[in-house]
Each structure stands twice: as C-alpha cells, then as structure tokens.
A and B are shown apart, each in its own frame.
Chain A
Amino acid sequence: MTRPDPAPRPGAPAAPGTRPGAATWPDSPLLALADDALVLSHRLGEWAGHAPVLEEELALANIALDLLGQARALYSELGDEDELAYLRTERAFRNCQLVEQPNGDFARTVIRQFFFSAYQELLYGQLAELGHPLATKAVKETEYHRDHAEHWTLRLGDGTEESHARAQQAVDALWRYTGELFQPLEGPEPVGAVDWTALREGWTERITATLGAATLTVPETPQRGAWTAGAGRQGLHTESFGRMLAEMQHLHRSHPGASW
C-alpha cells in the first residue's frame, strides 16, 4: 500500500544530510548582529527582579531594551522577526558565544557587557560610516552601554578586595570568548566591508586602557578555547544557551500566534 508523501511536519527531523532550517533562514551577516543583540538582551532581562539595587536594575533593563530594539530592526530587514527569534533552533543562531554566557554575579555581567559593548560600539561605528541606517542610530546607544559598563568596571576593579577579585575572575573567565568577535563576517556590504583588523586593534586598546585603570590584569591566555574558535557564528553554542533559548521561546512555541 502506498501513501502520498506527507507534508513535513514542523519540528520533524530533517532528512539526513540537510541541516534543519539551513535553507529557510536568511544567510546574511546581519543575522549574526541581530542574534548578538537579542541574546544579550534576554540575558540582561534575566536580571529583572534580581539586580543588586533598583537603580541598576533599571539601567540593565534599559540596555536590554535598546538591544532588543536593534535586534528587531535587523530581523525585520531579514524576514519575519517573530519567526527568526522564536522558531529557530539553537544551531541556527549565529550569535557569538560571549553574549550567551550566563549572568553569573554582577561583575560577570558588567565585564561581559563591557567586552561586548566596546566591540559593538566600534563595529556599529564602522557600519554607520558605511551608511547602514540602523547602525547610525544605534551607535549612540552602544556608546552609552559601553560607558555604563566601563564606569562599573572601574568601580568594581578598583573597589574593594572582594569586588576586585570578582571582576578579575570575570575577566579571566570571559577572555576566551573575545577572540570570536573579530572573526570576519562574510557577506555583502556594509558588513562585508568592515575592517576587522582595525576593529580588533581599537577594541584591544580600549580594553587594555580600562582594565589597567581598574587595576585589573589583561589575561595572557588565548582569546579562544580549542573548541570555541568562532563557533557561535557557525551555530555551535555553549551548554547554557539551550536552556536560555528554551525559556525565551517556550511561550511562542506553546501558543503560536498568541497576542494580548
């Protein structure tokens, strides 16, 4: 007895040899930038109700909302923002591994933010010069994010013995995820025209200066682990990312099209 080929069910395993979703999701370097923003936004959102003080909770939420706005603008350029955010699986996300790292303590969150915002400010600065409209608008946001994280880095690093130790621990732990940031994103302009060497130099200069002023040591360890070499950009993520994604996507997946 023969049956007609059933239509592929959503979520069904893909045929062997094809990567799920590989053909359906846009292959644009902007997707990586959008994923960076969305994932870090979600991580920062996890502080809501848990931040050390009310003032800082609002600051983190503000930064998270800025990033969410950037992600939405970029996703809309590429397709349907809800589908891109909520219906891709872990392997289809192109964010760097730095942004998916768990919040940890406040120092860990601050250092992660400083590493990323310093990068994003320089990257969006270049993209703005190349004429990308979102980057032109968002570069001021990233400048503030970097400034905020930088001020906290100085205070934690050059603060108490405890805050210094925690900040240094955060720097050491996150350092291995920073090399990936400068792996060139292939694709059309403007992202394709970014000068990644200059970006790396600018970033290193800023990080070195601020960590020095904060009495923190710039690690001499490699900026990538054996298995982290540019992996986030290829869809390979660290363990905690799957859980974060499950939490972020479960409402949309459980109630498709829900609105209020």
Chain B
Amino acid sequence: MSGTDWPLWEVFVRSRRGLSHTHAGSLHAPDAAMALRNARDLYTRRSEGVSVWVVPSQQITASSPDEKDPFFEPAADKPYRHPTFYEVPEGVRNL
C-alpha cells in the first residue's frame, strides 16, 4: 500500500451517549475530513459508535517508555488512593 505519503491519524470512538471517547486505532488520510470518513468506514461499521474524533498522530505527546518508572511506579504502592471505602449504589452503570 502506498498510503505512507498520507499523514497518520488517531481515531477515538464514543460507543454510547454518556461514555467518553475511547482510542480505537489509527489510519492514513490526506486531510481531516477524509480521515473522519475513513474512520467511519474502518471503526464504526458494526455500529460501534455515535461519535468519532480524529487527531493527527503528530499532535499527540506521549510519555516515554524510558521514563516509565519515575512516571508510574510511585503510585503502585499507594493502594489507599483507590476509593475502596464506599459501596457503589445499585443501578449505577459505567462506573
């Protein structure tokens, strides 16, 4: 495939009203309008979504794998930060 000339886009799909957009994957497209259409065809054809975002992959600043330890390890031994001290009321979904 010769699509390497086209920029890469990250696709975020919201599956239902009330949920947040979730990263679904990526694709190549010449511009934003086409990226949105390609995203529709690639990631929502089995009715996965009600809303789609596309973001140029270049615009995403990611944490570096080398900094993984200082970034994430300090939180690992602090289970008291998890809100485990209350009960989830019945009937609350998506929590």
User: Chain B residues near A147 (CB, 8 Å)?
Assistant: 37
- Range of interface residues on B (Cβ < 8 Å): 10 to 19
A151 and B34 contact, Cβ closer than 8 Å, known pairs A54-B1, A54-B3: yes
User: Chain A residues near B94 (CB, 8 Å)?
Assistant: none
User: Chain A residues near B3 (CB, 8 Å)?
Assistant: 52-55
B1/A151 in contact, CB under 8 A: no
A155 part of interface (Cβ distance < 8 Å): yes
A58/B30 in contact, CB under 8 A: no
B33/A55 in contact, CB under 8 A: no
Chain A contact surface mostly? helix
B2/A53 in contact, CB under 8 A: yes
B93 part of interface (Cβ distance < 8 Å): no
User: Chain A residues near B42 (CB, 8 Å)?
Assistant: 55, 58
Interface hits, B57-77 → A, CB 8 Å:
none
A155/B30 in contact, CB under 8 A: yes
Produce 1/0 per residue, B1-27, CB < 8 A to A.
111001000000000000000000001
A173 part of interface (Cβ distance < 8 Å): no
Task: Select B37's contact among A52, A53, A54, A151, beta carbons within 8 Å.
Answer: A151
A59/B38 in contact, CB under 8 A: yes
> What's the nearest-Cβ distance from chain A to residue B26, in Å?
10
CA of A260 to CA of B28, assembled, Å:
35
> What's the nearest-Cβ distance from chain B to residue A117, in Å?
14
B41/A59 in contact, CB under 8 A: yes
Which residues of B pack against A, CB within 8 Å? 1-3, 6, 27-30, 33-34, 37-38, 41-42, 45
Which residues of A pack against B, CB within 8 Å? 52-56, 58-59, 62, 147-148, 151, 155
